[in-house]
Structure 1
Amino acid sequence: MIGNDVIDLALARVESNWQRKGCLDKLFTTKEQNLIFSAKNPTLMVWILWSRKEAVYKIIRQEDGLRGFYPLKIENTDYDSGIVCFNKKEYYTKTVQKGDMLHTIALRNLQFNKISELNTSIEIHKKDEIPFIITNGKNHFISKSHHGRFEKILLLNLS
């Protein structure tokens, strides 16, 4: 399973106010808030941590079918290595910033070398709101993310 999240940082600056009262308490654990407040760039740290949570959430949807809003149950437990946990399961994340684009990929294993980025014009199907593509008669789950000017569609090649 694969998850990814992309954030248009320029749009996020305009549309979101993470500093409003109570916002961080709804989205981030105490440990994560400490990372935010000790960061050189707290705003960027908010979006890195949030992007990791969103990418992991997409895997959780694929694995367990769980829907809902439970960001405090998805925790960035090891910031430097990109480990995020949910229900005692570890997920591995990699986050890259290029200009105003922040992109996170999440996996259950460390097979980041087996990821392919797909063309955004590819035909995407959905089953229970989970995206997949069909190649050679087989269904392959993918992860699609878009925000503002950016869109990423990823496939984990395990064959």
Structure 2
Amino acid sequence: MIGNDVVDLTVAKSQSNWKRTGYLDKIFTSSEQDFIFSSNNQEAMIWSLWSRKEAVYKILIQNGVRSGYYPLQIECLDIDYENGYVIFENYKFKTKTTVINDLIHSVAIESYENFEKIIYLKNGNSLKKINGIPFYELNSKLYAASKSHHGKYEQVVYLQS
């Protein structure tokens, strides 16, 4: 399975006040807040962590975890600006995040070897949903897919096996 999430930093800045009292405590664990406060760019780190959590959440839903609000249960570990681990209960995911200007894009998968198998699509029009889960169909074969949109950005990825 694969999950991805994009954040348009321009939109995020205009819609969120992360400096509001208690905001970070509702979304980030104390170790994640340590990453944020030790970062040279705290705002980018906040949205980088958030997009990793969202990408993992999409995989959890694909794997049958009940929809819910889990920001503190989905925890980012061993984070640098590009790679990291994210855990939820007994699940462990690998993430890769890119930051380009005002775009943050995170992809989550279950093993680092699969990063080489990620294919980017131009748009999500070609996705097919089965029981609410997105797939990309190619040559009569279905591949796990993920679509994310925020502000002026959209990213669609699938995992080629």
Common fold by TM > 0.5: yes
Shift of 1:136: 2.8
Give me the whole-angstrom Cα distance separating, in 2, the residues matched to 1:89 and 1:65: 11
Partner amino acid, structure 1, of 2:14 = V
CA shift in 2, pair 1:153/1:38, >3 Å: same
Alignment of 1:70-149 (within 5 A): 70-80=70-80, 81-110=83-112, 111-120=114-123, 122-149=125-152
Quick check: 1:153 aligned with 2:127? no
Partner amino acid, structure 1, of 2:37 = F
Shift of 1:130: 1.7
Partner residue of 1:64? Answer: 64
Give me the whole-angstrom Cα distance separating, in 2, the residues matched to 1:128 and 1:65: 13
Alignment of 1:35-54 (within 5 A): 35-54=35-54
- What is the CA deviation profile of residues 49-88 of structure 1, one whole-angstrom value per residue up to 9, with x for unaligned ones? 1011001111111112421111101001211341111112
Which stretch of the first structure deviates more once superposed, 131-140 or 20-29? 131-140
Structure 2 unmatched ranges of 5 or more: none
Give me the whole-angstrom Cα distance separating, in 2, the residues matched to 1:121 and 1:89: 27
Quick check: 1:24 aligned with 2:27? no
Give me the whole-angstrom Cα distance separating, in 2, the residues matched to 1:132 and 1:124: 6
Percentage identity across aligned positions?
47
Give me the whole-angstrom Cα distance separating, in 1, the residues matched to 2:115 and 2:140: 25
TM-score, normalised on structure 2? 0.92
Structure 1 unmatched ranges of 5 or more: none
TM-score, normalised on structure 1? 0.93
Which stretch of the first structure deviates more once superposed, 94-103 or 112-121? 112-121
Shift of 1:37: 1.3
Give me the whole-angstrom Cα distance separating, in 2, the residues matched to 1:88 and 1:65: 12
How many matched pairs?
Answer: 158
Give me the whole-angstrom Cα distance separating, in 2, the residues matched to 1:62 and 1:26: 24
Asked whether the equivalents of residues 52 and 106 of structure 2 are also in contact (C-alpha less than 8 Å), the reply is yes
Shift of 1:121: 5.4
